Amino acid sequence: MTQAAVKPAGRLLVVGGGYTGRRFALAAASLGFTALLTSRQPKPPEELAALPAEFGWLPFDSQAPRLPEPGDLAGVSHVLVSAPPDGGPGDPSLRCLAPLLADLPLAWVGYLSTTGVYGCTGGAWVDETAPPRPRAGRSQARLEAEEAWRASGLPVQILRLPAIYGPGRSPFAGLRSGRSRLIHKPGQVFSRVHVDDIVGALLHCLTLPAELRPPVLNVCDDYPCPSSEILGYASHLLNLKLPAVERYDAIAADLSPMARSFWAENRRATNRLLCAGLGYRLRYPSYREGLRACLREEEGLP
């Protein structure tokens, strides 16, 4: 059979072709999906330039608003929503795209959310059965966006993500440039996930029969820990000195409101449902394997 005669696994639309969306589209394409990515940028970045012509780049800006043409989405079978909410009611991507999506034969819609919807647990573990207790503001808006997608009548699966890291989003550049800060807040931990485990978990969900896909799923690694531990290991890998430790209480007032809201929540998100329940095997169970892989990729090593 010639390459052209191979039936694609499906046609994927990534709403928000940013860091995670692009990495997912590339992985899905290697499994036989054709992919469309939306962006507010007129042209795709270089990393997508070498892809086949059916890997499309569509204009979409929920604020402008600027929408794809209905014909652009013909044949889309799977959708990943990777654009954030805007603080308004519901979700801006859904408000704009619902009429276009309603006409498509969709098998799956993944919505990338955050574990921020759980609120602060004082460092305790939290799973998908916990009632969300988001702080007012961004996390509350995120929960409302989740709820809007779940009420849309589409085959939606909500993926709740902690801090995302990966090649190009690692502590190495900050350490090399001397911009990193080693901040310590007693008892504070963060959950995180390597971008390729988001991609792997999404692809794993796609292979499951629809009735086995949980409507809400945490996608995170096994090892929540203080951010100082990550920086310590990253500086060890680079053989660089760590910056001086700063006590959180002493510097909190100087941090941006965004950074303060990040430090205000202490939570360990569990991946038990993803790994023990659905049988997904993490590529990077902790930051140790993950950071080593980031460094290899950032340095162009195999």
Ligand X SMILES: NC(=O)c1ccc[n+]([C@@H]2O[C@H](COP(=O)([O-])OP(=O)(O)OC[C@H]3O[C@@H](n4cnc5c(N)ncnc54)[C@H](OP(=O)(O)O)[C@@H]3O)[C@@H](O)[C@H]2O)c1
Site for ligand X contains 82 (CB under 6 A): yes
235 part of the interface to ligand X, by CB under 6 A: no
Question: Smallest Cα–Cα separation from 135: which of 1, 257, 43?
Answer: 257
Q: Does 163 bind ligand X (CB under 6 A)?
A: yes
Count of residues interacting with ligand X (CB under 6 A): 22
Q: How buried is 86 (Cβ within 10 angstroms: 0-12 exposed, 13-18 middle, 19+ buried)?
A: middle
**Is 60 a residue that touches ligand X (CB under 6 A)?**
yes
Q: Report the nearest approach of ligand X to the CB of residue 201 (Å).
A: 13
Q: Taking CB under 6 A as the rule, does residue 110 contact ligand X?
A: no
Which of 54, 63, 74, 250 is in the footprint of ligand X by CB under 6 A? 63
Q: Which is nearer to ligand X, 92 or 290 (CB)?
A: 92
CA distance 247 to 115: 25
- CB 220 within 8 Å of CB 285: no
Q: Does 262 contact ligand X by CB under 6 A?
A: no
Kindly state whether residue 39 participates in binding ligand X, applying the rule CB under 6 A: yes
Instruction: For residue 112, state whether it binds ligand X (rule: CB under 6 A).
Output: yes
DSSP string covering 236-285, please? Answer: HHHT-PPPPEEEHHHHGGGS-HHHHHHHT---EE--HIIIIIT----S-S
User: 209-245: buried (b, 16+ CB within 10 Å) or exposed (e) per residue?
Assistant: eeeebbebbbbbbebbbbbbebbebbbebeeeeebee
Per rule CB under 6 A, is residue 20 in the interface with ligand X? yes
User: Residue 61 or 144: which CB sits closer to ligand X?
Assistant: 61
- The one among 10, 16, 200, 290 contacting ligand X by CB under 6 A: 16
d(CA 162, CA 157): 16
Does 19 bind ligand X (CB under 6 A)? Our answer is yes
Interface with ligand X by CB under 6 A: which residues? 16-21, 39-41, 60-63, 82-84, 92, 112, 114, 161, 163-164
